[in-house]
Chains A and B, each alone.
Chain A
Amino acid sequence: MNESFAQLEVPASLIERARGGDLAAFEQIYRRFERPVYTLALRMLADAEAARDVLHDAMLKVFQRIDQYRNDAPFWAWLRQIAMNEALMRLRREHRTDVDSDSEQIVDGAAPPWVRADSLALERALGKLPALTRSVLWMYHVEGYSHPEIAELVGKTISFSKSQVARGTARLRDLLAPLAETEPCRITPSLAL
Chain B
Amino acid sequence: MSNHTVPGTMKSPPEMKSLPEALRALPQVAPERSAWPQLAAQLAAQGIAGTAPTVLAPKPARRNWRWAVPAALAAGIVLVAVAWPLLQRPAPAVGALVATAAPVAASIQTNAANSTNTTSTQSATDARNADTQLASLQQHSQALERWLHETGRAAAPLSGQDLAAAAEIEDMIGLVDGQLNSAPQESELPLWQHRVALLEDLTALRYSSYKLAETGVALR
Q: Which residues in A have some Cβ–Cβ distance to B below 8 Å?
A: 1-3, 18, 21-23, 26-27, 30-31, 34-36, 38-39, 42-43, 48, 51-52, 55-56, 59-61, 63-75, 77-78, 81-82, 85-86, 89, 93, 111-112, 114-120, 122-123, 126, 137-138, 141-142, 169, 172
Contacts and interface: CB of A to CB of B under 8 A. Distances in A.
B29 A111 contact: no
B12 to A, nearest CB: 5
B126 interface: no
Contact of B12 (A38, A39, A117, A142): A117
B193 interface: no
Most buried by B among A1, A74, A117, A169: A1
Contacts of A61: 167
A81 B48 contact: no
B5 interface: yes
A85 B174 CA distance: 14
Interface in B115-130: none
Given A30-B36, A59-B39, A70 B160 contact: yes
Contacts of A69: 157-158, 160, 163
Contact of A169 (B2, B19, B166, B220): B19
Contacts of B49: 18, 21-23, 26, 63
B33 A52 contact: yes
Query: Nearest 7 A-B pairs (CB), nearest first?
Result: A73-B160, A78-B160, A81-B164, A141-B20, A23-B49, A56-B35, A114-B22
Contacts of A142: 20, 23-24
Contacts of A93: 175
Contact of A138 (B12, B23, B39, B48): B23
B159 interface: yes
A164 B3 CA distance: 29
A68 B11 CA distance: 43
Interface of B: 1-2, 5, 9-12, 14, 16-20, 22-36, 38-40, 42-44, 46, 48-53, 155-161, 163-164, 166-168, 171, 175, 220
Contacts of B29: 35, 38-39, 42
A55 B31 contact: yes
A116 B155 CA distance: 53
A38 B36 CA distance: 12
A163 B97 CA distance: 44
Overall SS of chain A's interface: helix
B48 A63 contact: yes
A85 B129 CA distance: 37
Nearest to A40: B28
Contacts of A22: 49-50
Nearest to B219: A70
18 contacts: A1-B24, A3-B28, A18-B49, A22-B49, A27-B40, A48-B32, A52-B32, A55-B31, A56-B35, A63-B48, A65-B166, A70-B157, A70-B159, A112-B18, A114-B19, A122-B22, A122-B23, A122-B26
Contact of A59 (B26, B35, B164): B35
Given A35-B5, A38-B30, 17 more contacts: A23-B51, A26-B40, A34-B30, A39-B28, A42-B2, A48-B1, A48-B31, A52-B35, A64-B46, A78-B164, A81-B160, A82-B167, A85-B164, A117-B22, A118-B10, A138-B23, A142-B24
B161 A81 contact: yes
B39 to A, nearest CB: 6
